[in-house]
Chains A and B, each alone.
Chain A
Amino acid sequence: QKEVEQDPGPLSVPEGAIVSLNCTYSNSAFQYFMWYRQYSRKGPELLMYTYSSGNKEDGRFTAQVDKSSKYISLFIRDSQPSDSATYLCAPTRGGSNYKLTFGKGTLLTVNP
């Protein structure tokens, strides 16, 4: 079993839709849960991260972690064409000096 599983999609939605992106993981030592956005041929950009279980909201984005089921979610409200990118979940055991374990990434297209 891979440490991090993420449905690669692709996922195509109309503008304004609510998008749900999900990952599962197997390593119970993961404590920090990152979400990155990567545009084609660019480096990943940190969207947000959460520590342990719970929700965190930042504008149109909400990250959710359920450690009991080892399930990570990212919700995007009022999706925009500019949100079209690959979204990568990346849990880690510790702080910034710990290596990230990336999911495969989900390719999202938001159609105008």
Chain B
Amino acid sequence: GAVVSQHPSWVICKSGTSVKIECRSLDFQATTMFWYRQFPKQSLMLMATSNEGSKATYEQGVEKDKFLINHASLTLSTLTVTSAHPEDSSFYICSATFDTQYFGPGTRLTVL
């Protein structure tokens, strides 16, 4: 149990385009989901906390207009990277809370 999925697992896009990443809790309902970013050989950095039905809380230094988060239901949160640039290339990971945080497999974004 406690499985979290992400889609897509890998995406390449051109600079200036927007990319949407989905995070789903498959077998439980999660009131809170978190979005992290991880650069190569670095640890996970929390980007934002997402609660179902309310606005996301962003960490300091994370542009809320660039990283749009929607938590429309207890099993789905989406992260949209708007006007993506090469420096946004990273590994994006979500987590969903049940008795603890369960992580998705991650989405690798490459912006050309």
Contacts and interface: CB of A to CB of B under 8 A. Distances in A.
A96 B91 contact: no
A104 to B, nearest CB: 5
B99 interface: yes
**Which label, helix, strand, loop or mixed, suits the secondary structure of the A interface?**
loop
Nearest to A100: B101
Q: Chain B interface residue count: which class? A: 20 to 34
Contact of A43 (B46, B99, B104): B104
Interface residues of A, number: 20
Given A96-B32, A97-B31, A99-B49, A46 B108 contact: no
A112 to B, nearest CB: 24
A48 to B, nearest CB: 10
Contacts of B34: 99-100
Interface of B: 4, 6, 31-32, 34, 41-46, 49, 91, 93, 97-106, 108
Interface of A: 8, 34, 36, 41-46, 49, 88, 95-97, 99-100, 102-105
